[in-house]
Chain A
């Protein structure tokens, strides 16, 4: 169908075919099994300085032709827009691909294994096992015609025990043992005594689940489009410290088991490993070719044609073991998950987020009591600058509240502002 596009100065055509399955369970039983089949084409067409995009489902020549006619008509009435297409085709493809990722029996077996394991810790579990297989093809006016195949699965399971809850996820490009390998922290079994803490500043030990939530927001803030649109505290901060010395964060489209790994971005540019923060210093935003031109730099292979997007965000681990981190804390909190991270001001990074699932008070190097009803009310940059220790161990986190995957370690952050509901 590319012959239909010869009148355009530039174009990108993205064809995506996906098959997805999901087992959803609650009250420790499978409640519904679902399957989706999607065929979609997105077209970005540029002529005489004007860009228009449209999508067609289950595309055929006639539907695409009609869309192009409409696009050409609209182009006569729209203002000029910037659109650049870069060239880089040294594709790296060492990511896993699991051709059996949609196997019904395996999915059922893995979900059942995860439920069984979660019930060793608690009395009720709920969650999803989700798997998808994607065929992706991109053609553009620079002569790129590239194809990719991706597989990914994630298991998200929440366990209820004695009126407390904890949440675990396991993400991989392969289905094998995804349920069996679901991980529960040992400290979940520890104290039963509850405590209400006072508002104030506390050192906080974040588990990978909780830390990944904050880092996923950071990754979105590092998109040049977010910066240019007023949705990021990182404006004018390239070359400055935005995190503590121990923090190195990179985006990677080439992680072997990264569930968002891709050979190329939406322009057809090869993906890569891009260091966003090195030893606390902001090195770059994430770019497509259009934002790169505006910022006078090279694309980082993160298109999104309109807005650059993170692939897999990786936080470099430190040297510590979780037990060593707990032992080092004298009056601190252990937060195992957060949700509803909401910003009062995207440009300053002021936000709050609610501690969801079990949280603990750590006293003199030991987990002492369960704490309830707490919220982090602080500033994203201040939190990143106060990261003190990172664990060697990392986990890939992706779930309902972490919408782009993060390889996150356990992290100790000093002096986090904690607020609570007044009682």
Chain B
């Protein structure tokens, strides 16, 4: 993949540091709404980006890939870098040379369409929309330190949104995704989930009851995965802590001096791990050529590690922990991969049997969090009332609004069932939507205000 061009770019850069990324992405998409195909598309992207450090940092992207354009790109990036005066640098890292490829193919359009058409037909009595996407991304990364990484990865993704109306209107959406090929379609069991969601929304309209105003709450993996990502992963990103994202994604309640502090109850451990095969946020080397490794963010309630790329690691005088990721045509910034709660010992039944009054929240639609990652809200869609240790009916949109500190201190039981969900994490400007997965377990919180 144009290795000569990449080498040429680095040779002519004559700067303290330079890197080049040449990328090719082939993707296919289908949109179906209420029985009608709305869009069937295929796309091909092919471009290069260079980033240099010389005085400051300069970045240039072009989707014209040839020697002349690469010369122009280097010249412009260097010129932009030299307009600045900063202490920016890259941490010292092991030089890596590697090629890796995740196997996975996609069938012809008929089979993909049949998959979506069958789901559409299956849910034909309600309002529904479906989105399918697959892509194969090839990337060559090289830097002036000597690292050279080639990767080829397929991604597959499906989404649905359904609306059930019966006096009231209720909606539910779900995502499915993996790093890999078509074989995952069968593992997702979309039809089963779709049937479950349709049935539940009908029941919710017919039988949903108001939740108690206060009680114990069990949050299911679908929600706790998101919580791990939003209230631990994001605030532990070093670029946020250093203020680099202040105008966009915000800062963080976390500070570097909190390292080693007890932050959560002892039963809480949270990990971000890129190297989980076939998870949506998988990678073997990050976008600065650093070998991917597991990051223990919170270990038994104690703050253990923050997420760094080479730029933030340099500023802190440490090594990167392989958190640099870039989407096509963008600069690498600190990102999560697959972020999850470490499983505990409890089954769902064991967590429930100890609750006198409360709710079990299985899925959500609405959620948000402030830009310091301290004030969070989740509104349940699929949720159940708990009374005297048993599920007793459906809860109508129970909502919890809780501070991050309170959340991590109220958990007293951690489930043993770890489940991963795909998500597209947004950060950076221009926005970089990147594949991640959120991993959750059942968490029991005591004495929570329920709205």
Contacts and interface: CB of A to CB of B under 8 A. Distances in A.
Residue in A343, A348, A400 with the greatest tally of chain B CB atoms within 10 Å:
A400
Contact of A30 (B56, B79, B402): B56
A354 B46 contact: no
Given A56-B44, A342-B366, A343-B365, A77 B108 contact: yes
B110 to A, nearest CB: 5
Given A37-B62, A419-B451, A422-B401, A53 B41 contact: yes
A377 B379 CA distance: 11
B34 to A, nearest CB: 8
B81 A54 contact: no
A351 interface: yes
Interface stretch (B83-91, B138-146, B179-187): B83-91
A37 to B, nearest CB: 4
B137 interface: no
Given A104-B83, A375-B375, A423-B403, A344 B366 contact: yes
A55 B59 contact: no
Contact of A350 (B44, B63, B81, B366): B366
Interface in A66-81: 67, 70-71, 74, 77-79, 81
Contacts of A354: 368-371, 375, 377
B331 A34 contact: yes
A299 interface: no
A35 B59 contact: yes
A345 B171 contact: yes
Interface in A236-254: none
Interface residues of A, number: 78
B169 A421 contact: no
A420 B366 contact: no
Contacts of B418: none
Contacts of A126: 243-247
B40 interface: yes
Nearest to A419: B401
Nearest to B59: A34
B40 A52 contact: yes
B244 A230 contact: no
Interface of A is mostly: strand
A231 to B, nearest CB: 8
A262 interface: no
Contacts of A24: 429
Nearest to B127: A230
B65 A58 contact: yes
Q: Categorize the interface residue count of chain B.
A: 35 or more
B43 interface: yes
Interface in B170-225: 170-171
Contacts of B127: 230
Given A57-B44, A352-B368, A375-B368, A33 B56 contact: yes
A224 B137 CA distance: 33
A287 interface: no
A33 B169 CA distance: 48
A225 B36 CA distance: 13
Contacts of B5: none
A67 B45 CA distance: 13
B84 A30 contact: yes
A421 B65 contact: no
Given A77-B113, A158-B246, A30 B86 contact: yes
Given A33-B83, A104-B83, A306-B31, A128 B44 contact: no
Nearest to A372: B375
Contact of B109 (A63, A77, A82, A342): A77
Nearest to A34: B59
Given A52-B40, A377-B377, 13 more contacts: A30-B84, A34-B61, A53-B39, A130-B429, A228-B33, A230-B33, A345-B171, A347-B163, A352-B366, A375-B368, A400-B248, A420-B401, A421-B406
9 A-B pairs with the lowest CB-CB distances in the bound complex, closest first: A340-B368, A344-B366, A33-B80, A126-B246, A34-B59, A158-B247, A126-B247, A127-B247, A57-B63
Interface of A: 22, 24, 26-27, 29-40, 51-58, 63, 67, 70-71, 74, 77-79, 81-82, 104, 108, 124, 126-128, 130, 156-158, 160, 165, 167, 225, 228-231, 306, 339-348, 350-354, 356, 373, 375, 377, 400, 419-423
7 contacts: A37-B61, A51-B40, A53-B41, A79-B113, A350-B366, A421-B402, A422-B401
